[in-house]
Structure 1
């Protein structure tokens, strides 16, 4: 019986940024945080992992928010930059970056203080849906290539 064994990693990234929250139409004070993002990533056991590839991708993504007032940067100029909203948005972007490297993001834990975290678990159903869409696109591309080859030849 074949057993699927994966290598699982947890990587941490840090982001210094400021934000403010609006409660009952009153703008709160702009205040700083050093946010910590812990990403759980799975790779096939047969895969060689070049950490710098996805570390560079995540770091480049986070760079656009580094040392900024989050409320002034898209998409948070139109979305309240709460811990939950930031993490939900970043988790989707992190997933895309990790997926392009051949890995699978399974969990993102974000903290804006050492005592407060918000966790996004990416369910098997969500991962499978994303994988199926990619497989469908690949199959369609192969079919189109074959049709074009027949037409040309």
Structure 2
């Protein structure tokens, strides 16, 4: 089996907002959270990407939710803004933003406290956004390095895909 190397970036973003939960038809108190979202982003081994490339896109997107009552903002006016629902909705949006920069979002971890996290893993085969677009491609340098590694490891020449 060929060794496939890649770069992975891990970035954290914070959302300061309020929400309330409805349990058994009873609305709870509106209360604040600082939700932490940790994104794992994979890029090709030879690609250099500045952290600010990711940070700007995600931060700009999250601005509309900062310091708001989540239950009053679509889609959370129709979807209960639990940690799980927030994470699943934002993961799709984060994926789209990261994909547009040529990266692949592989994991989103969200925390509402230091001891409570919810983690989503995004399998490689599902890493094409539903909105279309082209997948990030390996470049010639990556192909050449793969060929050398495969030869060194005794797996013959050529790269694996």
TM-score, scaled relative to structure 2: 0.78
Structure 1, residues 13-32: CA drift from partner, whole Å, max 9, x if none?
Answer: 11100000001110000011
SS state at 2:86 partner: helix
How much does 1:70 deviate?
A: 0.3
What residue in structure 2 maps to residue 39 of structure 1? 39
Give matches, 1:94-105, under 5 Å. 94-105=94-105
Runs of 4+ in 1 over 4 A off after TM superposition: none
Structure 1, residues 64-118: CA drift from partner, whole Å, max 9, x if none?
Answer: 1000000001100110000000000000000000000111000000001111000
What residue in structure 1 maps to residue 115 of structure 2? 115
**Gaps in structure 2 of 5+ consecutive residues:** 136-161
SS state at 1:60 partner: helix
Question: What is the CA RMSD across the aligned residues, in angstroms?
Answer: 1.8
Partner Cα separation in structure 2 for residue 4 and residue 119 of structure 1: 24
* Structure 1 position 20 matched with structure 2 position 20: yes
Question: Greater share of helix residues, 1 or 2?
Answer: 1
User: Does the Cα contact within 8 Å between 2:96 and 2:129 map onto a contact in 1?
Assistant: no
SS state at 2:65 partner: coil
How much does 1:125 deviate?
A: 2.4
Partner Cα separation in structure 2 for residue 11 and residue 53 of structure 1: 11
SS state at 1:47 partner: coil
How much does 1:134 deviate?
A: 3.1
Partner Cα separation in structure 2 for residue 26 and residue 130 of structure 1: 37
SS state at 1:8 partner: strand
Aligned residues: 134
* Structure 1 position 86 matched with structure 2 position 96: no
What residue in structure 2 maps to residue 106 of structure 1? 106
SS state at 1:120 partner: strand
What residue in structure 2 maps to residue 148 of structure 1? none
What residue in structure 1 maps to residue 146 of structure 2? none
User: Does the Cα contact within 8 Å between 2:41 and 2:103 map onto a contact in 1?
Assistant: yes
**Gaps in structure 1 of 5+ consecutive residues:** 137-153
Partner Cα separation in structure 2 for residue 69 and residue 130 of structure 1: 29
User: Does the Cα contact within 8 Å between 2:11 and 2:39 map onto a contact in 1?
Assistant: yes
Partner Cα separation in structure 2 for residue 76 and residue 135 of structure 1: 30
